[in-house]
Amino acid sequence: MKGNLKRKVSVALLAMSIVLTTVPSAAYNKITEIKSTPEAYADGVTHENIRVFTDEGWINMNVLRIDLEKNVQMDVLTDTVLSSRDTLTNLVKKNNTDNTVVAAINSDFFDTNNSTTMGNLVKDNQLLSTSVGYDDFASFSISTSGVPYVAYVNTPNNTVSNGTFTKKLSYINKPYLAYNRTIMFDKYFSPVSYGKYLGVDILEILVVNDVITEIRRAGENFKMPDNGYVLASVGTDIAEMSKNFKVGDTLTLKKDVNFRYVDLSIGGGAQLVKEGKVVSAFSQNITGLHPRTGLGITKDRNHLILVTIDGRTNSYRGVSQTEFANILISLGAYEAINLDGGGSTQMVTTSPWTSQIKTMNYPSDKTERKMYTGLAIEKVLSDSPTLRATKISLSNTKMLIGSKVSVSLNGSDTNYNPVTPKATDVIWSVNGVTGGFENGYFVPTSTGVGTITAIYNGMTATQTITVKNDGVKLVVSPNILKIDDGQDKTMSFSVVTEEGNTILLSPQAVKATVPSTIGTYDATKGIVTGGANVTQGYMTFEFDGLTTYVPVGVGLDKQLYYDFEKPTATFSGYPLTVEGAYSETTTNGKFGTSAFMSYDFSKSTDTRAAYMIFNKPVVFPVDTQGIGLWVNGDGGNSHWLRAKVIDSTGVATNITLASSVDWQGWKYVSANFPTDLKAPFTLERIYLVETEATKLDSGYIMFDNVEAITSNALSVATPQEINRVKKALDYKLPSDLANAASKLTSYIYKAEKSKDIDAIMKANPLNWSTNTGAFSISDKTDAYVIKINNKNGYIRKNDYTQWIKLLEFVKNYNGNKPVVLMMNDVYIFNDTLEQELFSTQLQSLTDKGKDVAVIFPTSNATFNVGKLNGAYVVKVPRSSTKALYLNLGIKDGKIYFEAK
C-alpha cells in the first residue's frame, strides 16, 4: 500500500485513550507484570515489551501500536515470487529499497507442501492471490478509503471470458493443479509456468496484453509475461478450455467484487474479537498453549495493535486462543484476528538510530522460520527531514576506575532515519564523577553516580553512569581456549565487584600477555589468532591488580580424514531429473587436489538433491563430536548443504553443514553430531538440497579436508590467579556479639536422619534455626527472617503465592532492620527469568540501604560466602556427625556472621 492513507468515508471518531489495562487472568493467576518504556519507531508507531509472571509461567508479549492518522501505512511483504519464501528479516530487506519499513510481523498461515499461503493476498489494490477457499479462515483488510477490518472472504468468484464463453477460475496464483481445475498464474507467482514438468497432463494458455498468443499441451513451460498471465488447466477442464478458447481470442479477466475496493488484504485464522468481546465460537480453534501472532483494531478504527506472544520455551508458556483474545481486548482491541503462530511467530523492528533490523521476540525454533508473507508498517518520508533527537550510546553504564568505555552520540531525524553527528561538533561533559573523553572513549577517574552530557546542534542528551572501584575478581571468557591455525577467537572481559555485580571491561583496559608460540593478540578488539604450530600454553590477563590465566591449545582438536588427493566418491542425483558429476581437481583447489561436484536443479520443481557418496564411508573415532571441512561456495547458489551420518546402532541422521551456501571462495564449515545418538559415527555422503520450486538453476560445489572435531583435553599448568575475593573464614563476629550467645542466631542444616546432630543441638542451648521448607515472614527483634521454598529450582511451582508475599514485602518495606532469607541454593533456578526476578528483589532491598543475607545449605564440606546484588550469600554445609553452623548477629542494623 503506497501513499499516505486519507479516509474518504465518514468513520465514527470516538475519544479514546489507549491505556494498557491489566492482562486478564484466564487460566492463570498473575503474580506481577514488567513493562518496558514504549519506544517510537516512526511518527505514530511505538513498541513495548510486556512480561507477565503467572502461576503457570511467564507470558512474554511484544506490542506494536500504529496510529493510522499519522504518517504511516501498512504494506504486504513477499519474496521475489509468491511461490518462494524467506525469513521475515530478509523479506523486510527485499521490500525495503526505499528504507521505509519500520516494523513487521509474520502473517498468513501457509501450506509448505504446496508453496503457498492459505488466504487472500491483495497489495496496492491488486489481487495477487486468492485463498484456498476454506470458509473458516478470516482475513485482515484495509479498504481503498483507509478503513481496517476483519472479515471472512474465502470463496471469491474470478472469471475469464472471450465474449462467448466464460470460465470460472478455481484459483489465482495457487499451486493446486489437480482434479478438474483451471488456475491463473502470472509473474508474481513464478518466473515460468509448470508445463510438462508438472508431471500430469496439462493445458497452458499464454495471454499477453489480454490476447491469447499460444496454447501448449504438456509442452515446455512458458516464461511468465510482464503484461499477461498463463491459464493452466487439468482434468476435464483441458477439453473444455481447448474447445472454447483459441489463439487470437481477446480475454476479459474479472476479479471478485470483494477485492475491487480493497487496498490491502492478508489471510489469517479465526476472528478472535468482535465488537469488543471474545467471539463465542472460533471458526478455527487451535487448542493448547502456543506462541501466537495477532492483530487488533480499536473501536474508532484509527489504531492497529500488532501482538506476538512467545511460547514453547522453559520460561514462556504460550497462551490459548481464548487467552489471546482476552489479551488483545485488554490492549484496546475492539476487533481482532489470529494470525499464524507457533514457530512462525515473529516481530522485527528497524532501529531509528542504526537502521539495524532486530527480532523483538524469541522464536520457538530458536531461529527465523521461512515464510511467504509478512505484514509491514511503513513510514511516509518527508522531503526535508531535520534532526529529531540524539541519544548517548555507551558500551556499559556501570564502569570501574581505570577502564575505558566506548562512548558515542547517535542521532535520528524526523523521518526516523539515523543521523551521524560530526564528532568534532559534539560537546561532551560529565558531572557527579570525574573523567576524561578521548578518541571515542570515556575514562572515569573517581567513583560515584554521575551524568554524561552530550550537546549537539542545540540538542542535549544525557546518560546516568555508575563508577565503582571495588573489583575483586577478573573474569575472562572463554576461560579455556582451543584454537586452530589462523582461527580468530574473541575474548570478553568483566570484573566481579565486592557487591557481587558484574561490570564489563573493554579489551583496551586489560593488559594481555600472549606467547608468540600460541599466536597473536589484537588488544583493540580482544581477538586471539591461532599460531601455525600444534602447542599448548597459557595467556595472562591483568586489570587493577587482578590477574587470571587462560589455558590454550592450538590445533589439538582436529584430525584430517579425507584430503581428496585420490578418487574418493561418486555422484548421485534425486530425483532422476537431477544430473551432475563428481571428480577431483587441482583447479582452484584449497589444499592441492579438491573434490568437485557439478549439479543441475533446473529440470524439476520437486525437492532436489545432489549427492557426493563416499566410495568408502568415513568412520570417525569414538571421541569425535562433529565434522568440519572446507567448502568453495562460488557455485552453491544459496542451496542447503547437509551430510548423512550413521551411528553405531545403524540409526541414520542428516546434519546441516550450512543452511545456505551463499558465500564466495573457500570457507570452513562444521556441524556437531547429535548427542542422543551413539558413537562412533560413519559419514556416508555430503550433499546439496533445494526445496523451493522456483530455484531452478545449475552450478557446482567444491570440498576439501574432511576433519574429525574431537575433544582433546589440555594439560597446561597455570599460576594461581590473583584476586581479592574474601573467604568465608575471613568473616568474624565483633567481640561483643561473639561473647553474647543470646544475641546470635545459629543457622544449621541437618543431613537426613541425623540423630547425632539432633543430640548436639539439644546439648548446646543456642538459638538454632533450620529451614522448614514452608514460606514465612517473621518479624524478629533485630531482623526480618524470610523462609522460601525453592525446592527443585522453583519458587513458583512450589507455591506461587510465595512470590506475591515476597514482592509485597520488598515493595513496602522501609524499616531499619536487616533481612535474612533462608532457602535452597539461590544460584540454582530452572527458570532464568524467575532467577532474574529474585535477584532484582535483593537489589531493591540493598538499594534501600538494608543489609541482606541469603543462607542456604550446600553438599560441600566447607562454608562459602559471596555477594549477589549487594546481599551476602552464605552456603552452610549440611551436618551429619559434626555440627557445622553459622552464627549470625545484628549490630547497629548491620549483619555480622562467623562460620563454626
pLDDT tens track for 416-432: 999 999 999 999 999 99
Average pLDDT, the chain: 91
Residue 366: the pLDDT is 84
Residue 668 buriedness (CB in 10 A; 0-12 / 13-18 / 19+): middle
State yes or no: pLDDT of 30 exceeds 90.
yes
Which uninterrupted H or E stretch holds 240? helix 237-244
Question: What cell does 775 get?
Answer: 514460606
Which letter, b or e, does each residue of 864-887 get, where b requires 16 or more Cβ atoms within 10 Å of its Cβ? ebbbbbbbbbbbbbbbeeebbbbb
If you search the block for the grid coordinates 513495548, which residue do you land on? 48
Residue 884: the pLDDT is 87
DSSP E strand stretches across 310-421: 335-339, 347-350, 357-359, 373-379, 387-394, 398-400, 405-413, 418-419
Give the separation between CA 731 and CA 727, rounded to whole angstroms.
7
Residue 495: the pLDDT is 94
Closest CA to 204 of 168, 156, 247, 166: 247
> Given pLDDT bands bounded at 50, 70 and 90, which one contains residue 764?
confident
> Given pLDDT bands bounded at 50, 70 and 90, which one contains residue 22?
very low
DSSP E strand stretches across 380-510: 387-394, 398-400, 405-413, 418-419, 427-431, 435-438, 441-444, 448-456, 459-468, 471-477, 481-483, 488-490, 492-497, 502-505
* In 445-563, alpha helices (H): none
Closest CA to 635 of 683, 569, 580, 563: 580
Residue 17: the pLDDT is 28
Residue 313: the pLDDT is 84
Closest CA to 84 of 109, 128, 117: 117
State yes or no: pLDDT of 153 exceeds 90.
no
Per-residue pLDDT tens for 716-752?
Answer: 899 999 999 988 889 999 999 988 888 888 888 887 7
> Given pLDDT bands bounded at 50, 70 and 90, which one contains residue 454?
very high
Task: Note whether 557 and 709 are within 8 A (CB).
Answer: yes
Distances, alpha carbon 81 to alpha carbons 86, 187, 376, 692, 852, in Å: 11, 7, 17, 11, 61
State yes or no: pLDDT of 25 exceeds 90.
no
Per-residue pLDDT tens for 866-900?
Answer: 999 999 999 998 887 788 888 899 999 999 999 98
Per-residue pLDDT tens for 226-246?
Answer: 999 999 999 999 999 999 999
Least confident of 323-337, 345-359, 651-665: 651-665
Per-residue pLDDT tens for 551-586?
Answer: 998 877 778 888 998 888 999 998 888 999 999 998
> Given pLDDT bands bounded at 50, 70 and 90, which one contains residue 269?
very high
State yes or no: pLDDT of 18 exceeds 50.
no
Residue 11: the pLDDT is 27
CA 606 to chain centre: 31
Total Cβ atoms within 10 A of residue 408: 16
Q: 520 or 709: which carries more pLDDT confidence?
A: 520
Residue 677: the pLDDT is 82
Q: Is 597 helix (H, G, I), strand (E, B) or coil?
A: strand
Question: What cell does 166 get?
Answer: 466464460
State yes or no: pLDDT of 616 exceeds 60.
yes
Q: Starting from the edge strand earliest in sequence, which strands make up the sheet with 101-106, in order?
A: 72-78, 373-379, 101-106, 347-350, 357-359
> Given pLDDT bands bounded at 50, 70 and 90, which one contains residue 26?
low
Residue 243 exposure: Cα atoms within 13 Å on the Cβ side: 8
> Given pLDDT bands bounded at 50, 70 and 90, which one contains residue 7?
very low
Whether the bond into 734 is cis, omega within 30 of 0: no
Question: What cell does 248 get?
Answer: 487470437
Give the separation between CA 789 and CA 791, rounded to whole angstroms.
6
Task: Note whether 796 and 803 are within 8 A (CB).
Answer: yes
Q: Starting from the edge strand earliest in sequence, which strands make up the sheet with 488-490, in order?
A: 488-490, 527-530, 519-522
Per-residue pLDDT tens for 303-322?
Answer: 999 999 999 987 899 999 99
Residue 497: the pLDDT is 93
State yes or no: pLDDT of 803 exceeds 80.
yes
Ramachandran angles phi, psi of 638, nearest 5°: 65, 25
Give the separation between CA 792 and CA 823, rounded to whole angstroms.
11
Task: Note whether 379 and 370 are within 8 A (CB).
Answer: no
Which uninterrupted H or E stretch holds 30? strand 30-35
Question: What cell does 829 get?
Answer: 533456578
Rounded average pLDDT over 40-50: 97
State yes or no: pLDDT of 1 exceeds 70.
no
Per-residue pLDDT tens for 810-821?
Answer: 999 998 899 999
Residue 534: the pLDDT is 83
Rounded average pLDDT over 616-629: 87
Residue 712: the pLDDT is 73
* In 742-885, alpha helices (H): 755-763, 801-812, 832-847
Q: 781 or 57: which carries more pLDDT confidence?
A: 57
State yes or no: pLDDT of 837 exceeds 90.
yes
Per-residue pLDDT tens for 154-207?
Answer: 777 899 999 999 999 999 999 999 999 999 999 999 999 999 999 899 999 999
Give the separation between CA 454 and CA 451, rounded to whole angstroms.
10
Residue 485: the pLDDT is 81
In this prediction, what percent of the chain has a pLDDT beyond 70?
Answer: 97
State yes or no: pLDDT of 19 exceeds 60.
no
Rounded average pLDDT over 595-599: 94
Give the separation between CA 520 and CA 672, rounded to whole angstroms.
28
> Given pLDDT bands bounded at 50, 70 and 90, which one contains residue 5?
very low
Q: Which residues contact 699 (CB under 8 A, 6 or more apart)?
A: 598, 599, 635, 636, 637
